[in-house]
């Protein structure tokens, strides 16, 4: 029996040697695909065993979507209605930005395991990065966004033409992905969870400050004016406001005098609050650019960590 087992082993080694050339040729593509597949299965098993985080994420998004719809129900087209519509848009971005902080520990919790497995050659850093990013962004950032379609209808945001709802969902989805990618980059670049939380919270607050709602960006001092151009909140808020106000009429009213009112086009409302009515496509494009920049920084930090683990 031992001789038979040994002969089979010899035959298998010979066949392996004969096919080594083709295996080397296919190793790069097939090996990476298998790595991503196995890492995705491990993430799925871990989620199945511990579903609390994903369940909580969906529950909080549902509560926020319905809550905002109730609080801003049926906003009008007068001065309070203008304020409520802008407040609705900003609060949604504020909520999603805070929720994106849950991406900070994505790399922190498994850092030691990642460095050990990459150092041993179990898989590549890019495969790990791609599996984690796709899993986190699809489940945690993309799917819950569609709940805010209910908010859109409950508040009475402008729905003509119907494509405005689609643009609304696309913009907040891009903003959510961008915020998550920035938090992932911070989490990958820092060595501890405490440091990641401190830096991540500061970054999100800075983004909100220069987002165009708390400060009028046209009145910023010259030495800090450039900060608005790296704020993903600024691009998302301006794009949502353009989608809501452009091409529609509103009325400025005075509470103390019902006879005092002023009709204004949506473009005039946008200019009043320091927003550019012609910047919609630019804003959407910049959200994509900042998302890829955050992901690239995250990948770079992981590659540096993987290199240090191997050497």
Per-residue pLDDT tens listing for the chain (311 residues): 434 443 444 344 444 444 443 343 344 454 778 888 788 888 888 777 778 888 899 999 999 999 999 999 988 888 889 999 999 999 999 999 999 998 888 777 777 777 787 777 777 788 888 888 888 888 888 989 999 999 999 999 988 888 899 999 999 999 999 999 999 889 888 888 888 899 999 999 999 999 999 988 888 888 888 888 999 999 999 999 999 998 888 888 777 766 677 788 889 999 989 999 999 999 999 999 999 999 998 888 888 866 765 55
Task: State both tokens at 34.
Answer: 């298998």
- Rounded to an integer, what distance in angstroms lies between the CA atom of residue 147 and that of residue 169? 9
Single pTM value for the model: 0.84
- Rounded to an integer, what distance in angstroms lies between the CA atom of residue 29 and that of residue 157? 47
């Amino acid at each position: 029996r031992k001789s038979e087992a040994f002969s089979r082993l010899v035959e298998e080694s010979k066949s392996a040697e004969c096919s080594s050339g083709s295996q080397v040729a296919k190793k790069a593509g097939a090996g990476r695909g298998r790595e991503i597949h196995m890492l995705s299965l491990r993430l799925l098993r871990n989620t199945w065993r511990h579903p609390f985080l994903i369940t909580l994420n969906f529950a909080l998004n549902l509560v926020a979507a319905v809550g905002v719809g109730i609080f801003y129900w049926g906003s009008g087209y007068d001065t309070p209605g203008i304020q409520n519509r802008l407040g609705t848009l900003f609060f949604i971005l504020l909520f999603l930005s805070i929720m994106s902080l849950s991406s900070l520990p994505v790399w922190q919790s498994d850092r030691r395991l990642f460095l050990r497995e990459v150092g041993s050659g179990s898989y590549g850093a890019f495969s790990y990065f791609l599996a984690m990013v796709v899993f986190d962004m699809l489940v945690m950032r993309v799917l819950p966004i569609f709940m805010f379609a209910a908010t859109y209808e409950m508040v009475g945001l402008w729905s003509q033409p119907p494509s405005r709802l689609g643009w609304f969902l696309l913009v907040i989805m891009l903003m959510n992905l961008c915020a998550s990618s920035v938090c992932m980059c911070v989490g990958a670049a820092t060595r501890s969870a405490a440091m990641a939380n401190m830096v991540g919270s500061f970054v999100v607050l800075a983004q909100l400050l220069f987002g165009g709602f708390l400060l009028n960006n046209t009145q910023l001092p010259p030495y800090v004016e450039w900060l608005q151009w790296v704020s993903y909140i600024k691009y998302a808020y301006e794009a949502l406001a353009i989608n809501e106000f452009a091409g529609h009429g509103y009325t400025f009213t005075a509470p103390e005098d019902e006879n005092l009112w002023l009709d204004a086009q949506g473009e005039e409302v946008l200019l009043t609050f320091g927003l550019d009515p012609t910047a919609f496509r630019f804003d959407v494009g910049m959200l994509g650019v900042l998302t890829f920049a955050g992901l690239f920084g995250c990948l770079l930090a992981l590659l540096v960590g993987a290199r240090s683990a191997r050497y």
